[in-house]
Amino acid sequence: MARRDDRIEHLLRRAGFGGSPDEVAELATIGYQAAVDLLVFYEQAPDDVDARIGVPGHVGVTTRGQFAPDTSITDARQRWLFRMVHSRRPLQEKMALFWHHHFATAYQKIADTYGGMVATRMMAASPEYNGPKNSPVGQIDLFRQNALGNFYDMLVMMARDPAMLVWLDGRLNVRGTPQENFAREVMELFTMGIRASDSSPNNYTEDDVKAAARVFTGWNLTVGARGTNNVNDATLAYSYTYRSTQHDTGNKTFSFEIYPGGGRTITANGEQEGLDFLLACCRHPQTGPRLARKLYGYFVSELQPAPQSFVDRVSGTYYATNFDMRRVVLSVLLSPEFSDPSAYYARYAWPVELVVKAIKETGWSGFSVDSALAPLLSMGQSLFEPPDVNGWETGAGWFSTGAMLARMNFAATLTQNQRFNLRDAARPAKASPQSVLEYTLDRLSPMPFDTPPYNELLGYLRAGTNWTGSDTELLAKVPGVTHLVLASPEYQFV
């Protein structure tokens, strides 16, 4: 049952959440270029995953009454994990996760302001579930819908997104008392990157922050359709509105080019001022390279900085295509840096990546994604709850003692739950401890084990028994060795 194509397996770990040996073999038959196209041009695959929630043969969800991912944040988290496990469009979900980190927005602040139902709707409302009539989709569905769309369109969506307007206090940004949070982060975090200093700015200045805040005065919220102001009203929904009476109509001058040809001043033009500013941020000469570096860390490697040749090539695609993220990501996945074997397992697995990959590779019959929510929190990543505007501390930052213990405990929970399924699946490989170990490593796809840890796993299978391959032996040993692999350092990389 050996995996047949390391390159395809690598592609599925990075552009998705891993794949079974059968999935790897299936993509290997069509070749790497076709496999990339299948993942990137994902609209050719059906988006039927929500219709399969609760259907036998899939990972379970735990309901507390009606399953309501539009109004219950617990159900919203379960829904997203289910989609990650079962979507036929894995790159769409992987990019939604990337944007969730890039445009980091946390549920709890919104819930503290408007209550849990409204906050969940702002973050997770979707067309698949019956929310209020004309209610806008939640932020995560915006990420999903525009996962590989135009970056400028995404910026505009986020500037008008109800969750973002609460998270970065845009709803408080009015003429006379401008609120600077969104203006700062749209430059520092979402586009061009942090400035060097006031005396030697490379991207933007404090005066630019003040001017940009004035640009967005009047970008606000309104209660939608059937909603009331009662936070316990299940029909309550907010949507974006522009209030011209709250807009600062004075000129705003910047230290960088706003208009082609060198114009740096935005004159009174209502809501269009914000659109012009966001377009200038997309065009800024530092935005393309910054996105290229972030995509390198997400898709290629966290163990070394992005080569300048990669940054130049990918950012060149970004500008040449007018910010088309599909073409940008395609250039990443087809780059020599991505396919180089030195990039295999050169990224630390995010907690949610670890959980989803482990479920996909270990099995899910009788397992609920609800059982992963508390472990994910202990590992340091709760969906819909990045710790601050910077998102999560990725890379080696995931690995505190407590977080690693949580990973090991989740591995124990999952393998114990799947012990009978693991025994049954391993029967064809029961001839010897070594064949069982090879089967397990093929099934789970950790990074290659060096000889000493490999021998320790083999020693575990051999210990205390004169191997017969009986069902009793398989039930005792296969879940145990699966747990050891899932909890190993080698499994913490993707």
Whether pLDDT at 396 is above 80? yes
pLDDT score, position 4: 65
Phi, psi of 269 (to 5 degrees): -155, 30
Whether pLDDT at 131 is above 90? no
Closest by CA position to 125, among listed 112, 109, 106, 144: 144
Residue-wise DSSP of 225-267? TT--S-TT-TT--EEEEE-GGG---S-EE-SS--BTTTB-EEP
Question: What are the structure tokens assigned to 363, written together?
Answer: 């099995």
- The band of 232, judged by pLDDT with boundaries at 50, 70 and 90, is low
Average pLDDT value for residue range 259-286:
97
- Per DSSP, helices labelled H in 271-323 are 272-283, 287-295, 308-320
Using a cut of 0.85, tell me whether the model's pTM lies above it: yes
Whether pLDDT at 230 is above 90? no
Average pLDDT value for residue range 81-85:
98
Interval 343-395: pLDDT, tens? 999 999 999 999 999 999 999 999 999 999 999 999 999 999 999 999 999 99
